[in-house]
Structure 1
C-alpha cells in the first residue's frame, strides 16, 4: 500500500494537532511516511510543532517529521498539501468582525464585509502556496480548506485554472453529523445526500439511508423544532458559545423554504438584522476563539513539550480532519467516494452561471473529481446564489485589478449591507486596517 507524504500549510494553526491525530488514527487505511509543517510564522508554528513531534514519535515513530519555514524544504517530495492558512491571524479576524458592526452590519468571518476583507487577504497566500507546491512537487494535490473558501476557489479558478487544487469545506460535514445524531444514526456516512449551493450558502435537497429510504421527513421535523441543536440544547462541540445560537436559528432559516434543509450560514444573509442585534460589538467570535480555543490548544502543546510526553493529552481529533483524510484516500486509492466539493459549475446546475464555483457532490478517484448533475434549481435559491456569486467574482476582480470601485461594488451588492453609502464607510475602514495585507486599491 502506497505511503503518502503530506505538508500541512498553516502548521501553526490550532487545528493542526487535530489533523495530525486524525492522520495517525487512520494510518492503517491511509499510511503515511512523512508529515511536514509549513508556516511563515516560525514562533507560532514551533509551539504546535514541538508537541506534534512528540505525538508522532509516541504513536507512529516510523513517520518522518519536519517543521520548516523554508518553502523548498516544505514542498519538495510531497503527495498532498493540506492548506488551512489564516493571513493576519485572529487579530485581523477581530477587525473583520468589529468594523462592520460599528456600522450596524453583520460582522462575521466569512460572510458579508468580514468575509470580503478576509478574502482579499487570503487570495495571495493561497496562490503563493499553490505555486510552491507546483514548483517543488508538480504531481501533488492541494486540498484547500483555507477560508473564505468561496472567494479563494474563484481566485484559483481565475488565476490558476489548470492547477491540481480541490477546495473543500467542513461545515456541511458538521451539520450532517448533527442530522445523523438527531435521528439516531451512528454516522453521517450512513446517509447519502444531494446538496447544492455556494460555499457557506447551500441547501440539502435529498438525504437517504444506504437502502434508499428517505430520511428528510425525520430530519425536517427535528430542524423545524430545534434547528440543528440537540433536543436538550447542549452543544458538546461548542458549549456556551455563539455557535449555540447559529444551530438553533437554523429553524427560522428552514421556515423560509421547507422543501430543503439549509446551511446554517444562511442566517447571516436572511436574518442580518437579528444577527446584528444579537452581536456584541466589543466581544465577537474572534475574541471567543482567542480567549478559549487558542489559549487551550497552545497551553496543552506547551504542557506536552514540558512533560516530554503526550500520553495523557487532552488534544483531540478534529471532526473536519476526517473529511480531508477521506478525500486524500479517494485520490490515492481511487475509492470513487461521493464528497461535497467546491468546483466550477460547468452545467452541473443547469440554470446557473457555468463559471460559478458551486458546492455540490462529486465522485472522487485517482484522476480527480467528477461533478454530479444537479438539474435546475428554484428561483429563490437561484436569485440568492446569483447575487452572492457576483459578490465573490467582484472581490477577485478587485484583487487582480487593484480596483477600489469593484470592491465597493462587491460590498454594496452583499445582501448583508444596506446601502452603497454604508458599504463605502466600511470599505474605507477596512482599507486602513488591511494596509499590510491587501494590494493597493485605486
Structure 2
C-alpha cells in the first residue's frame, strides 16, 4: 500500500499535536512515510515540532519528520497539505472580538465584523500556500480547514479555480457527534444526514440511521429541550462559553422547529443576547490563551525537557479524524459521504450557482461530487442570500483593495445595526490590521 507524504501548514498551531497523534492512530487506514511541519513563525513552531518529533519517534519511528520555514522544503514531493493557519495569531483574533464589542456589536472570530476582519487577513496567506503547493507538488491536494472557511472558500473558488482544494469545517462534525450522543448512538457515522447552508450558517433537515429509519424527530425533541447539551461531557468542549453555545441552540431551533441548526446561527438570530452576555475585556480568545494555548505549549515543553512523552496529558484529537477520512477518500477513491464547502452549481436548486455552499458530497480521487439537496425554504434562502453577498463583497474588497466594498460587506452583515456603526467598526479594524490587510482605497 502506498505511503503518503503530508505537510501540515500551521505547524505552530495548538491543534498540531492532536492531529499528529490522530494521524499516528490511523496509520492502518492511511499509511504515512513523511510528515513536514511548516510555519512562518519559527519560534512558535519549534516548541510544537520538538514535542511532535519525540512523539513520532516513540509511536511511529518509521515516519520521517521535518520542521521547516522554507517553502521549497515544505512543499516538495508531498501528496497532501493539511492547512490550519491563523494569520495574525491570537493577538489579532483578540482585536476581531474586542473592536466590534466596543461598538455594541457581536465580537466573534468567524461571524460578522470579526469574521470579515479575519477573512481579509486569511485570503492572501492561504493563496500563498496553494501557490507553493502547485509550484513544488502540482499533483498534491490542499485540505483547507483554516478559518473563516466561508470567505477563504469563496476566495479560492474565484482566484484559484483550477486548484486541487477541498474546504471543510469540523463544526458540523462536532454537532453531529452531540446529536448521536443525545439519542444513544456511539458515533455520528451511524447516521446519514442531509444538510444545506453556508459555512457556520446551515441546517440539517433529514437524519437517518443506516437502515433508513428517521432519527430527526427524536433529535429535534432533545434539541428543543436541551439544545445540543448531552449527558456525555467528553463530546463537548469544556469551556463555559461552548456549553452556553450548545444550550442556546434550543432558542435558535425555535425559529424553524422542522430543522436542526448550526450553533453559529445564534450570533445572527440573537446578537443582542450575545453582546449582553459578553465581557468586552475578556473574550473567547482570552479563554483560549489562558486555557488551550497555555496547556499545549506547557505540555510540549515538558516533552522536550524530558525527551519523552511518558506522562503527557496531550490527547489524540478524535474530533479531527475527519481529516484522515478526507485524505483517504482522495487517496483511495472511497466515495465517503462528507459535508464540504463547494460551489453550488444546483446542489441547492433555488440558490445562486456560484455560492460556496456546505452540503453532503461523495468524495473520491477526482474530488467532491455534491449531492442535490433540492429547494430550500424562503426563511433560510433569504438569510443565506444576505450572508453569501457579504462573503462575496469581502473577496471583492480584498481583490480590488476597495474600502467601499468592505464597508458594504459590513453594512450588509445581519449582525451590524447600521451603515454608520459598520463604518466606525471598519475604521478601527483597518487601523488594527494595517500589517495584514491590503491597503484600501
TM-score interval for Structure 1 and Structure 2 normalised by the shorter chain: over 0.9
Distance 2:172 2:21 in 1: 22
Distance 1:240 1:122 in 2: 26
Distance 2:384 2:168 in 1: 18
Unaligned runs of 5+ in 1: none
Correspondence for 2:438: 439
TM-score (normalised: structure 1): 0.99
Give the CA deviation at 1:369: 1.2
SS in 1 for 2:106: coil
Kept after mapping to 2: 8 A contact 1:194/1:204: yes
Distance 2:251 2:368 in 1: 34
Correspondence for 1:38: 38
SS in 1 for 2:254: helix
Q: CA offsets per residue over residues 306-329 of structure 1, 9 Å max, x none?
A: 111113221112233201100000
Correspondence for 1:2: 2
Distance 2:94 2:27 in 1: 37
Give the CA deviation at 1:336: 0.7
Distance 2:184 2:288 in 1: 30
Give the CA deviation at 1:236: 5.9
Q: Could you say if the C-alpha distance between residues 358 and 122 of structure 1 is closer, same or farther in structure 2, counting changes exceeding 3 Å?
A: same
Give the CA deviation at 1:235: 6.6
Aligned length in residues: 441
Correspondence for 1:91: 91
User: Which runs of structure 2 are paired with 1:212-227 in the superposition (5 Å)?
Assistant: 212-227=212-227
Kept after mapping to 1: 8 A contact 2:411/2:422: yes
Correspondence for 2:281: 282
Correspondence for 1:159: 159
Runs of 4+ in structure 1 over 2 Å off: 234-241
Kept after mapping to 2: 8 A contact 1:106/1:268: yes
Distance 2:338 2:210 in 1: 15
Give the CA deviation at 1:240: 4.0
Kept after mapping to 2: 8 A contact 1:235/1:244: no
Distance 1:327 1:88 in 2: 27
CA-based RMSD: 0.9
SS in 2 for 1:256: coil
Unaligned runs of 5+ in 2: none
Give the CA deviation at 1:230: 1.6
Distance 2:362 2:239 in 1: 37
**Residue 327 of structure 2 corresponds to residue 328 of structure 1:** yes
Correspondence for 1:366: 365
Distance 1:166 1:239 in 2: 29
Distance 2:239 2:331 in 1: 40
Correspondence for 2:129: 129
Kept after mapping to 2: 8 A contact 1:191/1:208: yes
User: Which runs of structure 2 are paired with 1:137-216 in the superposition (5 Å)?
Assistant: 137-216=137-216
TM-score (normalised: structure 2): 0.99
Kept after mapping to 1: 8 A contact 2:332/2:365: yes
Distance 1:237 1:55 in 2: 26
Correspondence for 2:345: 346
Kept after mapping to 1: 8 A contact 2:177/2:235: no
